[in-house]
Structure 1
Amino acid sequence: MHVAFVSFETVHHRDTETNQQFRTVLEILSERGHDVHCYCAGFWAGDGSTLEQDGITYHAVSTGLDARSSFYLRLPFVLAAANPDVIHAAAQPPGQILAARWGATLARAPLLVEWYGDGGIDDTRWTRLATGRPDRIVTPSELVGTWVRELGADGDIVETISNPIDLELIRDVEPGEEVDVIYARRLDDGANLESLLLALAELRDRDWSATVVGDGPERETYERLTRDLRIEDRVTFLGNLTLEDRIAVYRGAHIFVQTAEHCVFPTEMLWALAAGCVGIVEYHANSSAHELVEGWNRGFRTTSEAELGEAILAAGDLERREFDDRFADYDRSSVAERYLELYRALLEDRGIL
């Protein structure tokens, strides 16, 4: 299948969670042998208008991020000339959805929009206009789907497709050192690691060990808090680790705790759960993490430090695992098939398949 992806900004311009996820979608479809093209602002040196990289063909619709208007004006005609089977656009900036809609009309191709929502969704006139243009909208969680519907999107066109993980990679990584509790996230002002540290401090008379994976501007503050709570000898800060090293830590851990206040999809938690961890989520209105553990006998949802401590004790009674096949539907191959099924449905609706 020939798929034209549209993203004015890519991970090569700015390394954000949204841009990383969009690249992942390109990668999982390219891995399955599909003809994947990305129409974006140019990010490479030289005069060439295209760049082949990792099975993906990048097309410079504009010369750089300063030429947004040029990108919007040229995009419909570039897409029409490309004649793709499906057009798959990122949601930000919303102007590119409007331009992609014109391109889809000219190319007679369905338009799907990836609405990731990291950093929230701005309620602007352009965003509301954009919600009415796609044939389908894909969000990473029910939380983001709700945000998009509140902006005016037709609920019948909103689909949830979660971020993928690689189960084969998890199996291939040797488990690391055993640890009771693990937390993993960038340590910024939204990490809310203090909830976990306060809960652990209330359990100081119990035998436990905890590991924190990740770095960020608040790391020193959290390390100081462990000293103030007199638990610094039982909490280890590992900083940033490679994916393989994180998986090793998860396979050796018993319980993964998610307390972040904002999370459109808890990818690190998913890696940990598939690596055998019990999952504990502190509920927050702007986090979708609870969606992963609802209705699961190895998952707990809490709303306070006291409940969090009780959940850690209860989770400690569950068996240790190094892998959990319950999460097979989140594997890269399964997620790629979800997108392909959606593409086929859109083409069938148009009588093309």
Structure 2
Amino acid sequence: MRIAFVSLETVRHRDTETNRRLQSTLELLADAGHDVHLFCARFWDGDSPTLERDDVTYRAVTDDPDARRSFCLRLPFDLGAAGPDIVHATARPPTALLAAGWGARIARAPLVAEWYGDGGVDDDWWTRRATGRADRIVAPSELVATWVRERGADGDRVETVPNPIDLERVRDVSPDDRVDVVYARRLDEGANLESLLLGLAELRGRDWTATVIGDGPEREAYERLARDLRIEDRLSFVGDCSLEERIAAYRGAHVFAQTAEHCVFPTEMLWALAAGCVGIVEYHVDSSAHELVEGWERGFRTTSEDELADAILSAGDLEHRTFDDRFADYDRSAVAERYLEQYRMLREEYGLL
């Protein structure tokens, strides 16, 4: 299948959650043997209009990611000339999604909109107009799907497709040293690590160890809070780690704690759960993390530091695991198939199969 992706920016312009999601989707479908093209702003040197990299063809619609107007004017004709079977466009900016819609019409191909929701979903005229343009809207979680529906999208057209993980990679990494609790995230103003630290302080009289993975502007403040709570001797701040190092830590840990206030999809938590961790989520209205543990006997949803501490104690009664095949539906191959299923359904609706 010839798939034309559209995104003004790529992960090589800015390293954001939305752009990482796009890159992983490109790689998933290219690895599955499909003809994948990305129409974007140029990020490579030289004057060549295309770049072939890792079985993906990148096509420069404009030289400048800030040149939104020229991108939107050229895009429909570039898409029409490419003759794709499916057009799959990111929803930011919404004007680019609208332009992708015109290109899909010229190409007589269905349009899929990818609404990741990193930074929220705007409530303006352009966004509401864009939500009605796509034949299908893909969101990473029910949280984002709800946001998009609230902006006027037809609920029957909205599908959730999670971020993928690689279960074979999880199996191949040897477990690290045993710890009771692990936390992993960039330590910025949204980390909300203080909830976990306060919960652990409630268990000061118990025997436990914890690891915090990640770095950021709030690390020093969190380290100071750990000292103030007198738990620093059992808490290790290890900074940024590679994916293999993180997987090793998760396979060695018993509990993964997710307390961040904003999270459109808890990818890091998913890696940890697949690596056998019990999941403890502090519920927040702008976080989808609780969706992964609802109705699961090895998952806990909490709303306060006291409940979080109680959940850590309860998790101690569960067996330690280093892998959990419950999350096979999140493997790379399974997620790729979910995208392809949407594409095939749309092409059938268009009478193209």
Do both proteins adopt the same fold according to a TM-score greater than 0.5, normalized to the shorter chain?
Answer: yes
TM normalised by structure 2 equals 1.00
The answer to whether the 8 Å contact 2:68/2:96 transfers is: no
Q: Which residue of 1 aligns with 2:95?
A: 95
Give the distance between the partners of 1:345 and 1:72, measured in 2 at CA. Answer: 27
Deviation at 1:65, TM superposition (A): 1.4
2 CA distance for matches of 1:289 and 1:63? 37
**1:105 match:** 105
Secondary structure of the residue that 2:233 maps to in structure 1? coil
Offset of residue 281 of structure 1: 0.3
Instruction: Write the distance in 2 (CA, Å) between the matches of 1:65 and 1:150.
Output: 29
For 2:244 and 2:113, the matched residues in 1 are separated by 31
Q: How far apart, CA to CA, are the structure 2 residues paired with 1:18 and 1:223?
A: 30
Give the match for residue 52 of structure 2.
52
Aligned residue for 1:344?
344
Query: CA–CA distance in 2 between the matches of 1:128 and 1:67?
Result: 22
Sequence identity, in percent?
73
Q: Deviations over 1:209-255 (max 9, x none)?
A: 00000111100000000000000001100110010110000000000
Letter in 2 for 1:283: Y
Deviation at 1:68, TM superposition (A): 1.5
For residue 122 of structure 1, report the CA deviation from its aligned partner: 1.3
After TM superposition, give the deviation of residue 182 of structure 1 in Å.
0.4
Aligned length, in residue pairs: 353
Counterpart CA distance in 1 for 2:205 and 2:9 is 51
Q: Which amino acid aligns with 2:81?
A: A
Instruction: Give runs of aligned pairs for residues 27-66 of structure 1, distance below 5 A.
Output: 27-66=27-66
Query: What SS is found at the alignment partner of 1:183?
Result: strand
Task: Give the C-alpha shift of residue 190 in structure 1.
Answer: 0.6
Q: Can you list the C-alpha shifts for 1:239-281, whole angstroms capped at 9, x where unaligned?
A: 1001011000000000000000000000000000000000000
1:66 Cα deviation after fit: 3.0
Tell me, what secondary structure is at the counterpart of 1:294?
Answer: coil
Report deviation, 1:200: 0.3
TM-score (norm: length of structure 1): 1.00
The range that moved more, 178-187 or 64-73, is: 64-73
Write the letter of the residue equivalent to 2:145. Answer: G
Q: 2:293 — aligned with what?
A: 293
What residue is the counterpart of 1:80 in the other structure? 80
Tell me the residue number matched to 2:115: 115
**1:60-209 map, 5 Å:** 60-209=60-209
Show the counterpart of 1:324: 324
Secondary structure of the structure 2 residue equivalent to 1:100: helix
- Structure 2 letter corresponding to 1:50: T
Shift of 1:64: 1.4
Counterpart AA for 1:187: L
5+ long unaligned stretches in structure 1 = none
- 2:203 and 2:109 map into 1 onto residues whose CA distance is 58
CA positional deviation for 1:124 = 1.1
Amino acid corresponding to residue 64 of structure 1 in structure 2: D
AA in 2 matched with 1:192: N
Q: CA deviation at 1:97?
A: 0.7
* Alignment of 1:334 onto 2:331: no
Alpha-carbon distance in structure 2 between the residues aligned to 1:133 and 1:315: 46
